[in-house]
Chain A
């Protein structure tokens, strides 16, 4: 644990711990030693300029991309070394992911896209669809239940993707710019629904956003700069600011 995290979360243990993550694509260093803790039930915003490695970091944490170096630990288990089979299982049961550029299945309706993770987890079709419908409702897209991704707006697809990520009641949700295609009011409704759901269920959320108003829904924020996590001016300087105000 870095000193700043100890200050922020005394006595808490992290749900997911990343240490010294490195990832290169050809000659591009997307991550150059990124470290981060995601605590159980916390909502953490990750910000940083375009190309700073945010999506790559999310993919490493969620076990979608293997880092070249460093470790990712989830509940004591090394994700970066887990078998493909185990990673698949984790993604079905413990993690929910919302990709930056959507990943809904084009042939399925919104309702079936959301019901799919439940079917894969062994829930029967009827109850799965029932629950999927409730989740579409939460995110304000029940009316689009029978549409396929190609027939929905970008914002509607993002909301369906969020519903799909949350439907199985995961321990951690990784959301990459989930409000990127939404107007302000729709973005706020989605964030409110996401935050309420996460708080209720104790779900940890890693939220990538470049929008300060979206980041303000999180408990804290960290900055990615050239593939390294800046522990956030937050840890130290907010206390400084408080002193100055006093």
Chain B
């Protein structure tokens, strides 16, 4: 999962400081390892260096001063590119796809507030499914070919069962996208 893009996605909702970003990240992606503070700050610094995020000021809230970061226009473009990109259909990419779905929902909500069109998480899942199915057809053709040896069949099977798991997950996620959207908005 691309931490850089997910942080950029969290910034789509508005400026935020590092500590809050870490908290949001850990809450939204409970299945991922919690982010280390160090990683949050180095990632933010790189985003600023690359012009994708900018320092928007400081906020002390009674305690120590904290730097507020916000996404730049270029950051928003890069985020849209990443979120719309189909993940290469390889096994174990569900976390990556999940991140894109959640980020799409966040960005769509931010876009809706300013009256703009945003990414469509359900359409993204349909496109991702099509890419997975295309890969599954290739693997199936490989193993169903006359004279395919058992090693080929078994290694194709290994990829197929994992891609199938992704597809099942996408099917149930698609069916529950409205509930997920409500949950992401509420959090």
Identify the A interface with B (CB < 8 A): 49, 191-192, 195, 211-213, 215-219, 221, 230, 232-234, 237-238, 240-241, 244-245
Q: Is the CB of B130 within 8 A of A212?
A: no
> In chain B, residues 115-139, which have Cβ atoms closer than 8 Å to a Cβ of chain A?
126-127, 129-134, 136-137, 139
Q: Is the CB of A241 within 8 A of B160?
A: no
Point out the residues of chain B lying under 8 angstroms from A192, CB to CB.
144
A217 to B133: give the CA distance in the assembly, Å. Answer: 10
Of the residues B85, B89, B133, contact of A221 by C-beta under 8 Å: B133
Chain B residue at smallest Cβ distance from A217:
B140
Q: Is the CB of B86 within 8 A of A233?
A: no
Chain B contact residues: helix, strand, loop or mixed? helix
Of the residues B86, B137, B144, B167, contact of A241 by C-beta under 8 Å: B86
Q: Is the CB of B168 within 8 A of A233?
A: no
Give per-residue flags for B133-173: 1 if the beta carbon is below 8 A from chain A beta carbons, else 0: 11011011000100000000000000011011001100000
Q: Is the CB of A212 within 8 A of B127?
A: no
A10 to B139: give the CA distance in the assembly, Å. Answer: 25
Point out the residues of chain B lying under 8 angstroms from A238, CB to CB.
130-131, 134
User: What are 17 of the A-B contact pairs (CB < 8 Å)?
Assistant: A49-B175, A195-B144, A212-B132, A212-B133, A213-B164, A215-B133, A215-B136, A216-B137, A219-B137, A221-B133, A233-B127, A234-B134, A237-B126, A237-B127, A237-B130, A240-B127, A241-B89
Q: Is the CB of A234 within 8 A of B133?
A: yes
Point out the residues of chain B lying under 8 angstroms from A212, CB to CB.
132-133, 136, 163-164, 167-168
Identify the B interface with A (CB < 8 A): 85-86, 88-89, 126-127, 129-134, 136-137, 139-140, 144, 160-161, 163-164, 167-168, 175
Point out the residues of chain A lying under 8 angstroms from B131, CB to CB.
237-238, 241
Known: A221-B133, A237-B131. A244 touches B86 (CB 8 A): yes
Of the residues B130, B132, B144, contact of A217 by C-beta under 8 Å: B144
Q: Is the CB of A233 within 8 A of B130?
A: yes
A219 to B167: give the CA distance in the assembly, Å. Answer: 17
Point out the residues of chain B lying under 8 angstroms from A237, CB to CB.
86, 126-127, 130-131
A234 to B85: give the CA distance in the assembly, Å. Answer: 16
In this complex, the member of A216, A217, A234 whose beta carbon has the largest number of chain B beta carbons within 10 angstroms is: A216
A232 to B137: give the CA distance in the assembly, Å. Answer: 15
Point out the residues of chain B lying under 8 angstroms from A217, CB to CB.
137, 140, 144
B148 CB to nearest A CB, Å? 10
Minimum-distance CB pairs A-B, first 6: A233-B130, A237-B127, A216-B136, A241-B131, A233-B126, A241-B86
Point out the residues of chain B lying under 8 angstroms from A232, CB to CB.
130
A232 to B133: give the CA distance in the assembly, Å. Answer: 11
Point out the residues of chain A lying under 8 angstroms from B133, CB to CB.
212, 215-216, 221, 234
A124 to B29: give the CA distance in the assembly, Å. Answer: 67
Known: A49-B175, A212-B167, A217-B144. A233 touches B129 (CB 8 A): yes
Point out the residues of chain A lying under 8 angstroms from B160, CB to CB.
213, 216
Point out the residues of chain B lying under 8 angstroms from A230, CB to CB.
126
Q: Is the CB of A241 within 8 A of B168?
A: no
A216 to B135: give the CA distance in the assembly, Å. Answer: 9
B88 CB to nearest A CB, Å? 6
Q: Is the CB of A216 within 8 A of B139?
A: yes
In this complex, the member of B89, B130, B136 whose beta carbon has the largest number of chain A beta carbons within 10 angstroms is: B130
